[in-house]
């Protein structure tokens, strides 16, 4: 009996010591992704201020600098208290997007707005997951407190998108001539045609259709954007044609 008790005690002790490691790993992943996303919001918005023309886009960029700057500082403080690391800079995908803005010719209203739509969709997904299932109490509270602001930002940028003609669900401007006609029924298969949706626009359009985790987007020789996404807990291939039709399971 004594041997059995000691064995159980040893097992329980091992589990107790193992659990913080798993907790720390999950918390660090959230901190890393949230910090990188927050840094990108501030850095891209600083670049955009000098390269966008519409006043509502300029105002939005300033709000991102203010709101995400404050959130970034709060996250850094919590991470320090929890002995977690804040990344020193952006990851490769965000550096690439930032470089596009830095190298692009003004006005870049359309590019900036589409990046913000995509970035906020990703941020909301990240914060919703951690607000629900996070196992580090201070970080979970931070996610819960920040989430309403992120959703407000998403609503703001969606409204702005419709005012400058970058909403792929509406008729697009002359600088974005991809067509979404009101009298064309949803296609059973993607329709070939000259497609001028950018990768960011294609991703946003697919997300607007209810998909998440949109990745590996490439445009084929027929002008059709193809990639991977998930919906209702299932992974699938997905395609976006020049008319804005989103078709799942299309190869």
Domains of the chain by range and CATH? 2-163 (1.20.1260.10), 175-251 (no CATH)
- List of the chain residues with pLDDT < 70: 1-24, 165-188, 193-196, 250-251
Query: What SS3 class is residue 83?
Result: coil
User: What is the phi/psi pair of residue 208, to 5°?
Assistant: -65, -25
Question: What is the structure's pLDDT at 233?
Answer: 82
Question: What is the structure's pLDDT at 205?
Answer: 86
Q: What single string gives the DSSP state of each residue in 170-215?
A: S---TTS-----TTSPPPSSPPPS-----HHHHHHHHHHTT-EEEE
CA distance 191 to 209: 17
Question: What is the structure's pLDDT at 88?
Answer: 94
Query: How many CB atoms within 10 Å of residue 132?
Result: 11
């Amino acid at each position: 009996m004594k041997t059995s008790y000691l064995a159980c005690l040893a097992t329980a002790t091992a589990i107790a010591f193992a659990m913080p490691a798993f907790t720390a790993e999950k918390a660090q992943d959230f901190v890393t992704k949230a910090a990188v996303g927050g840094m990108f919001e501030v850095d891209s918005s600083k670049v955009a201020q000098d390269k966008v023309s519409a006043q509502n886009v300029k105002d939005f960029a300033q709000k991102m600098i203010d709101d995400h700057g404050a959130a970034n500082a709060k996250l850094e403080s919590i991470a320090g208290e929890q002995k977690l690391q804040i990344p020193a800079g952006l990851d490769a995908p965000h550096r690439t997007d930032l470089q596009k803005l830095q190298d692009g010719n003004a006005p870049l209203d359309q590019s900036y707005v589409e990046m913000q739509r995509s970035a906020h969709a990703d941020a909301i997904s990240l914060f919703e997951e951690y607000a629900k299932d996070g196992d580090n109490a201070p970080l979970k509270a931070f996610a819960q407190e920040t989430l309403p602001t992120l959703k407000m930002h998403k609503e703001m940028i969606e409204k702005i998108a419709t005012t400058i003609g970058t909403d792929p669900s509406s008729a697009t401007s002359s600088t974005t001539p991809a067509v979404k006609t009101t009298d064309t029924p949803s296609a059973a298969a993607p329709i070939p045609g000259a497609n001028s949706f950018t990768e960011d626009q294609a991703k946003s359009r697919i997300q607007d259709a209810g998909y998440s985790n949109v990745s590996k987007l490439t445009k084929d020789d027929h002008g059709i954007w193809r990639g991977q996404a998930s919906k209702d807990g299932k992974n699938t291939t997905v395609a976006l044609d020049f008319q804005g039709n989103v078709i799942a399971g299309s190869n």
